[in-house]
Amino acid sequence: MFDPYDEVKSTVLHNGVKVHVLEVPNCAYAYCNLVFGAGAMHDGDIHAGLAHFVEHMICANSGMTVMQLQDYFAEVGGSFEAATSWFGAWYGFKAPINHQRFDEGLALWSRATLATSLEQYFDREQTIIASEFYQDFASQAHARLAVERQRLLFRGLPPSAAPTPLGTIESLGAITLADVQTFHGAFYVPGNLSVVCVGGLSLAQVCEKLERCEIGVLPSMDAPKTRELPRAFMPRTASRLGGDLSAGAAANQSTVVISALIQREVSSTALNVLCSMIAERAFGDIRENRGLAYSVRASIQVYKAYNVLEIVADDFPSSKLREVERLLRKVIARIPEQVAVFERIRAQECASYLMIDGTWQDVHEKMCADIAREGRIVTMTEELARLEALQFEDVLALLPHLRARQLFTTVMHK
């Protein structure tokens, strides 16, 4: 089995910066990202969206506009990116390794993230992020429903503050320039940085380049300890949230989302297979057998101490709401009968590891996500071994999280 992650070489610089490099022989370019443990989970209790705001301010104070950054790397066939997730923030680029633009790009992001005072463009970026927030939702009613749903689903846990790393309009308005600068000073330090590179450079070559820019000259400094999230599973009384998104018109279409909060300590492999089992059965029962809804799916949202399993049926006639919801819950109730489905899905997913054909960009993105989420790179060999060892009993062990009283239902009328 081809497993590029087995070939990753890692080291730690004198000041605590972690470096992870996958060398691709005869590759003329490389992807390079600076990954900081500075995501939405680090916002604290006061200002949801602060980590994402800092990302905006870093880009704004980099010395170039977004358009200039795009052109700067596009001139040599490359690209750039900056993003914030629940777990971290990253800043990176793709460029030819033998062109000076690679070293310049590395110096640019090193300087912007670690050696720039975030003084300018605060008001402008606050306005831009507010616009970005509403772009994520079809209307203000959708946004309000998403915020309320997150609050009720997580009930006081850190993710309850906002549905995305952007925060909310209210929390965005409460953030000050001093908040931004304090967060930046605390979390954008060498000990909280991992450099992830995939392409035609060796570990030694990458380290040599890092030593020549701000990353290499800054003294050792660690980020503050993040408050540990509660890990005891909290009993829930079944909750329900409804929202009218029809903007005054007669609502004749509905969407139902059934959510379950599941501890991260449970097997993620078992949870992924359970998700696939539910998605297949729900799609078959609701769409294929009855034609009630076009889109029926299941997915997992990953947080620090919890995952959220979501089962969704989209845009079906409102008159069929009770029937659709009953069928979704029936799918969950029948999981203990689905041992044959489990064996087939596990076998299919094991076989898929032999057919991996992702690009080097895909490999780089997974490495960055692993570093932000897990603090290490997870190999495909490790993932496959977990999948091969998985038993149906491991899936059944998740079912207490899916009891009726643990589920949270959201119904949207459109």
Question: Which CATH number belongs to the domain containing residue 198 in this structure?
Answer: 3.30.830.10
Binned at pLDDT 50, 70 and 90, residue 256 comes out as: very high
Domain's final residue, options 187, 217, 247:
217
Q: Is residue 323 part of a domain?
A: yes
Domain-located, residue 230: no
Torsions phi, psi for 259 (to 5 deg): -120, 145
Residue 250 confidence (pLDDT) above 60: no
Residue of 299, 298, 228, 308 whose CA lies nearest to 263: 308
User: Distance of alpha carbon 221 from its chain centroid, rounded?
Assistant: 26
In a domain, 29, yes or no: yes
Residue 82, H or E segment: strand 79-84
Please give the radius of gyration of the chain, using alpha carbons only, rounded to the nearest integer.
23
One domain for residues 46 and 124: yes
Q: Does residue 266 share a domain with residue 140?
A: no
Average confidence (pLDDT) over 146-160: 87
How many other CB atoms sit within 10 Å of the CB of residue 355? 8
Residue 234 above 90 pLDDT? no
Last residue of a domain, one of 185, 217, 249: 217
Question: Looking at this protein, which amino acid is placed at residue 163?
Answer: P
At residue 407, the 3 state secondary structure works out as coil
pLDDT of 137 strictly over 90: no
189 shares a domain with 287: no
> For residue 383, which of 341, 342, 343, 352 has the smallest C-alpha distance?
352
Better-predicted residue by pLDDT, 55 or 227: 55
Structurally, the chain folds into a number of domains equal to 2
pLDDT category at 249 given cuts 50, 70, 90 is low
Which domain range does residue 96 map to? 4-217
Pairing of strands 253-263, 239-244: unpaired
Q: Does 156 share its domain with 246?
A: no
Q: Classify residue 258 by burial, with Cβ atoms within 10 Å: 0-12, 13-18, 19+.
A: buried
Residue 176: its pLDDT value, please?
Answer: 96
Could you read off the pLDDT of 86-126 as tens digits, one per residue? 999 999 999 999 999 999 999 999 999 999 889 999 999 99
pLDDT tens digits, 350-365: 999 988 777 899 999 9
pLDDT recorded at residue 248? 58
48-84 core/surface letters (b: 16 or more CB in 10 A; e: else)? bbbbbbbbbbbbbbbebeeeebeebbeebebebebbb
- Tokens, residue 232: 């005891």
pLDDT value at position 206?
97
User: Are 164 and 59 within one domain?
Assistant: yes
Do 246 and 378 reside in the same domain of the chain? yes
- Residue pair 220/200 in contact (Cβ under 8 Å)? The answer is no
More confident residue, 228 or 55: 55
Are 156 and 69 within one domain? yes
How does the average pLDDT of the chain come out, rounded?
A: 91
- Residues 203-231 have pLDDT tens digits of 999 999 999 998 877 888 887 776 544 44
pLDDT grade for 304, boundaries at 50, 70 and 90 = confident
Judge contact between 51 and 39, C-beta under 8 A: yes
Residue 360 vs residues 5, 31, 98, 190: alpha-carbon distances, Å = 11, 8, 18, 26
Examine the domain organization and report whether 173 and 41 are in the same domain: yes
Are residue 10 and residue 46 in the same domain, yes or no? yes
Strand 306-317 with 295-302, pairing: antiparallel
How far is Cα 12 from Cα 73, in angstroms, rounded to an integer? 28
Which of 217, 252, 273 is the C-terminal boundary of a domain? 217
Per DSSP bridges, beta strands 253-263 and 306-317 are antiparallel
Residue 257, classed as helix, strand or coil, is: strand
Residues near 319 by beta carbon (within 8 Å), at least 6 away in sequence = none
Q: What is the predicted pLDDT for the residue at 47? A: 87
What is the average per-residue pLDDT within 308-336? Answer: 95
End-to-end CA distance of the chain: 47
pLDDT computed for residue 306 by the predictor: 84
Q: What pLDDT score was predicted for residue 178? A: 96
Residue 270 lies in a domain: yes
Which strand ranges, in their side-by-side order, compose the sheet holding 295-302? Answer: 239-244, 408-413, 253-263, 306-317, 295-302
Structure confidence at residue 246 (pLDDT) = 66
Mean pLDDT of 26-36: 97
> Does residue 335 lie in a domain region?
yes
Q: CA angle 341-352-81, nearest 5°? A: 120
- Confirm whether 18 is domain-assigned: yes
Q: Are residues 199 and 81 part of one domain? A: yes
> Which of 248 and 189 is assigned the larger pLDDT?
189
Are 182 and 247 in a shared domain?
Answer: no
> Looking at the structure, do residues 300 and 406 belong to the same domain, yes or no?
yes
Q: CB neighbours of 46 closer than 8 A, spacing ≥ 6? A: 174, 179
| Residue 155, in any domain of the structure | yes
pLDDT surpasses 90 at 235: no
- Domain membership of residue 43 (yes or no) is yes
The yes-or-no verdict on residue 237 having pLDDT over 90 is no
Q: Are 379 and 6 in contact (CB under 8 A)?
A: yes
Q: Which residues on neighbouring strands pair with residue 125, listed in sequence order?
A: none
